[in-house]
A and B are shown apart, each in its own frame.
Chain A
Amino acid sequence: MIFTPTPLSAAEDALRHEVRDWLDGTLPADFRPGLGLGGRHDPDFSRALATRGWVGMSIPRQYGGAGASTVQRFLVVEELLAAGAPIAAHWIAERQTAPALLRFGTEEQRRWFLPRIAAGECFFSLGMSEPDAGSDLAAVRTTATRVDGGWEVSGTKVWTTNAHLNHFFVVLCRTSASENRHGGLSQLVVDLSSPGVTVSPIPLIDGELHVNEVVLDRVHVPDDRVLGEIGQGWAQVTAELAHERSGPDRYLSVLGLLRNYLAEHGKDLDDAAATAFGRIAARLWSIRQLSLAVARSLDEGEAPATEAALVKDVGTIFEQQTVETVREIAACEIDPGGSMFQQLLAECVLNAPSWTLRGGTTEVLRGIAAKALTGGGAR
């Protein structure tokens, strides 16, 4: 395990305060925080953030980014999520697509996409899940067939967050039949405004429309939109998921809830409530150190995939338990139209189940972590 307490340099600490102060001055006083990565989709905010150099921070300078370290990006992202800032528009592009393009993209793709991502002008969704391929991602059936100058893609993707608002999505699909079920998979960058793409909302239990079904009917994808190598889709997706897992988005969904609990109830906490709240805070304190340790070790050239899975698991379980505990100590009937705290509590209760699903379920993550633990010994 690579978990060691990670001190910040004075410059890193200053960056954090710079972001915090900017958010204080930018978000309106009556701002309703989003639940971490469930923050609102606001292209104007993304662009404003980009002018500060805080979108696509770890993209190298030659491609329009800030060439920042993983830890620097961590600190910026952490402040954004803690404030519940409206980061959804650029979130996937900056967290996931940009690193994938850097690793697997052609020079031409990098030059075209990365500056636009860093400018907060090019937004991506993720096209992995399908009706019959959830945890078992290799079961995808969306198929691309070779045509003149590119590929023709048909199939159905589901749970595609913000496909109705974003510009592109990276589609995992089958490009050839293969004996090995992890073979024959590829990733294509699909323009969501292409002919043949139909996006239909799937209302979630709170009535909100974030996720979609995306039907692809003989959509043409030119050769220069193939991401990485044809047939290498599985390896590429696995590498991508490791990037997705251990960040602050896995423990900060509840920060706005905790802050507003203190704002509304903090004046008169009895011992039982203070104890329950203190336990939550203590956990949060330590979990963020674990997550920061993973970020630092990425900068040091390690690939802490198991650690990342552990952090996501601890983080998301923590988030769910927090909602239950806060609900208990607030001891009220939840009014979705009530105070800020009440509104956030309502949103948390309704959304908490998804926290241990999205990005790989608890069960699947534990399977991955267990393999590493029992295969490679305890360390």
Chain B
Amino acid sequence: MSDTTELRDAVADVLRGRCSPAVLEDAERDGGAPTVWAALADGGFTTVSVPEPAGGSGGSVAQACAVLEAVGAAAAPVPVAETGLLAGRLLARAGLGLPDGPLSTAPSPGLVLDDGVLVGSVDRVPWGRSAASALVVDGGTVVLVEPGTGVVTPGRNLAGEPRDHVDLTGVRPAAVAPVDPIAVDELARRGALSRAALIAGAARAVLELTLRYTGDREQFGRPVARFPAVAAHLVQIAEQTELAAMAVGAAAAGAGDEGEPDPLAVAAAASVAADVAGAVATAAHQATGAMGMTREFGLGVLTRRLWSWRDEWGGGRSWAAELGHALAAGGADTFWPTISRGLVR
């Protein structure tokens, strides 16, 4: 496990000082943070878990999630999840090499390929305006489209990260390859897991920020952290953070060195992380008072992401439903064996 911890720390080191409030404000306005991207790409951190032969850095799903925890903690406004764990692995799976630069992907249920030309549009593509997109059409074909192709209508999430509508009708993809239909479900799962990992990272940053602030801020002659009611918020943030990190860590570790994560473990992680996102944000804002609500303080860059990521790639609700239906279908006698199967080496 320590290799993931070291990787997370290494990425945190790269990002330290690079995601300043000014950089984040610029990114919200401009839709990108080229210096942050360049630093991560130079270190090979943007394509972790994409096999080396396909042009990635190699590594496991667990390592990719470790990178994403650091990215989430720094609120780095760049498509690392999309480039590596999501689109990168999808392209590799279809036998396509990775192009240079940032990649994106999103669920694309309405998109079809007609005689080599795309018909339809894709909603809420992360950084769709500036990244090449790897998309699945007809459930069994992967297409790669160049950055900015088609008609882009800019959109964003609560944190101002680009979530663009891209109309691809009439676009001829730069590459096309068939893929095993299961790759579509796998992509959705990695999408959910990527959000859970980002959430776990951001939650830890919220914990640290909130501990620091409530330890410094004095009212009634002492640090507010010393009031039991405030302390209870801090403890709950810590608990929820550990819960999300554990859910992600367990699901990711289950994928082993090269495989995909267990579907039910991912569903559990996505459900837990979505709940954690809300609970952590609420408690942190309560504990930091009016200062936490300001643009300047920096809690908002994290909580606005928590509030966005928890709904992406299906959101906690749909993954909880998937898990609930699967457990019910398994029946009463397999309930505990399923929950407790965990990791076995």
Contact = CB atoms under 8 A, between A and B. Distances in A.
B332 interface: yes
B319 A373 contact: no
A322 B320 CA distance: 14
Contacts of A5: 1, 246, 249-250, 253, 343
Given A269-B328, A288-B340, A278 B215 contact: no
Interface stretch (A144-152, A218-226, A256-264): A256-264
Nearest to A279: B320
Contacts of A259: 332-333, 335-336
Among the interface residues A9, A273, A314, A363, which one has the most CB atoms of the partner chain B within 10 A?
A314
Nearest to A371: B231
B261 to A, nearest CB: 12
B303 interface: no
Contact of B246 (A78, A290, A363): A290
Contact of A284 (B253, B332, B339, B343): B339
B208 interface: yes
Interface stretch (B12-20, B85-93, B183-191, B233-241): B233-241
B123 interface: no
Contact of B321 (A20, A258, A278): A278
A13 interface: yes
A370 B238 CA distance: 9
Interface in A1-56: 1, 3-10, 12-13, 16, 20
B324 A281 contact: yes
Contacts of A271: 321
Interface in B188-205: 204
A194 interface: no
B222 to A, nearest CB: 12
A283 B246 CA distance: 10
Contact of B211 (A258, A314, A377): A377
Among the interface residues B239, B316, B322, B344, which one has the most CB atoms of the partner chain A within 10 A?
B239
B342 A289 contact: yes
A281 B243 contact: no
Interface stretch (B142-150, B159-167, B267-275): B267-275
B289 interface: no
B327 A6 contact: no
B271 A278 contact: yes
B304 interface: no
A6 B214 CA distance: 33
Nearest to B204: A378
A25 B52 CA distance: 51
Nearest to B232: A366
A259 to B, nearest CB: 5
B332 A370 contact: no
Contact of A374 (B225, B239, B320): B225
Contacts of B332: 259-260, 262-263, 266
B317 interface: yes
Among the interface residues B235, B236, B265, B320, which one has the most CB atoms of the partner chain A within 10 A?
B235
A335 B290 CA distance: 48
B325 interface: yes
A278 to B, nearest CB: 3
A59 interface: no
Contacts of B344: 7-10, 12-13
Contacts of A273: 324
B221 interface: no
B231 A289 contact: no
Given A5-B246, A276-B324, A369-B235, A283 B340 contact: no
A7 B335 CA distance: 20
A275 interface: yes
B323 interface: yes
A369 B237 CA distance: 12
A292 B342 contact: yes
Given A3-B242, A8-B342, A374-B234, A279 B249 contact: no
Given A1-B242, A259-B333, A278-B327, 18 more contacts: A3-B245, A7-B343, A10-B345, A262-B331, A266-B331, A269-B324, A269-B325, A274-B324, A278-B324, A281-B268, A281-B323, A282-B270, A284-B339, A285-B250, A287-B243, A290-B243, A366-B236, A377-B211
A-B pairs, top 8 by smallest CB distance, nearest first, are: A278-B324, A274-B324, A370-B231, A278-B320, A278-B323, A282-B271, A263-B332, A282-B268
Interface of A: 1, 3-10, 12-13, 16, 20, 78, 82, 255, 258-260, 262-263, 266-267, 269, 271, 273-279, 281-290, 292-293, 310, 313-314, 363, 366-367, 369-370, 373-374, 377-378
12 contacts: A7-B253, A20-B337, A277-B327, A279-B271, A282-B269, A283-B243, A285-B250, A285-B339, A286-B250, A286-B268, A286-B272, A370-B231
